[in-house]
Amino acid sequence: EVQLVQSGAEVKKSGESLKISCKGSGYRFTAYWIGWVRQMPGKGLEWMGIIYPGDSDTRYSPSFQGQVTISADKSISTAYLQWSSLKASDTAMYYCARLKSSNYPRGNWFDPWGQGTLVTVSS
Amino acid sequence: QSVLTQSPSASGTPGQRVSISCSGSSSNIGSNTVNWYQQLPGAAPKLLIYGNNQRPSGVPDRFSGSKSGTSASLAISGLQSEDEADYFCAAWDDSLNGPLFGGGTKLTVL
């Protein structure tokens, strides 16, 4: 079974650093892009960025470029999302998801998704 | 970050057919396939439809998707109480070089 298992909920203070993880299993981890998606309380889904664990090629949404760092350790099939200095506005649920692609018709979609990591930042 | 446009809410009674629409532009829905995700209360999103109209294994055929030009829709027939959830459309955006999501539609089963 293809699975993504994320690290547990975090409670942090503004200014602190944080790294959350997403461990893949049941498939060749290095062969698929992994994406990170933010969902703020009561809001919709926002794409943050993607990483290809095979060579760590990483792409960020312009909205998140410079705000977070996405990385991966292919030796342990794990992707990471990290912040160097959290803000209260980073309070949200964060999901990782595997990206699948089709050339014809052209498209990409996320499947499966991790269970989510709730990050709460107090000021 | 721009989003695809969805109505914020929809509703129906058990057994009814409901439709949820999603509007985009030439750089996303117009150029790439549309996907739909279902998010049950308190749960992670789950892929419901990919490639405009393909259902992953395990998704009932009550759920169907379609696309025309820069718009798409999700139809749910034989509505059931367990279909009460948030539904998000999504499509790759060639300008963003990443996925764009709709704002989500909250479906209420009356």
Per-residue pLDDT of A63-120, as tens digits, reads 999 999 999 999 999 999 999 999 999 999 999 999 999 888 888 999 999 999 999 9
Structure tokens at B93: 């955006």
Supply the pLDDT for residue B2.
59
Q: DSSP 3-state helix, strand, coil percentages of chain A (rounded to 5)?
A: 5, 55, 35
Question: Cβ contact (<8 Å) for A107 and B101?
Answer: no
For A107, the closest of B92, B102, B104 (CB atoms) is B92
Per-residue pLDDT of A5-34, as tens digits, reads 999 999 999 999 999 999 999 999 999 999
Q: Which residue of A has its CA nearest to B100?
A: A47
Strand order in the sheet with A3-6: A3-6, A18-25, A78-83, A69-73
**Residue B15 region, left (φ>0) first, then alpha (ψ -120 to 50), else beta?**
left
For A95, the closest of B44, B97, B99 (CB atoms) is B44
Supply the pLDDT for residue A103.
85
Please calculate the CA angle A66-A70-A71 and round it to the nearest 5 degrees. Answer: 135
For A106, the closest of B33, B90, B99 (CB atoms) is B33
Give CA–CA dist A111/B56, Å, rounded. 9
DSSP run (H or E) holding A101: strand A92-102
Low-confidence residues in chain B, pLDDT < 50:
none
Mutation choice for A interface testing from B39, B53, B74, B87 by most A CBs within 10 A: B39
Question: Cβ contact (<8 Å) for B44 and A35?
Answer: no
- Return the number of CB contacts < 8 Å for A and B: 83
Contact with chain A for residue B40, Cβ under 8 A? no
Per-residue pLDDT of B75-97, as tens digits, reads 999 999 999 999 999 999 999 99
Supply the pLDDT for residue A11.
98
Question: Cβ contact (<8 Å) for A45 and B90?
Answer: yes
Q: State the nearest Cα–Cα gap between A30 and chain B, in angstroms.
A: 19
Question: Cβ contact (<8 Å) for B51 and A114?
Answer: no
Supply the pLDDT for residue B44.
98
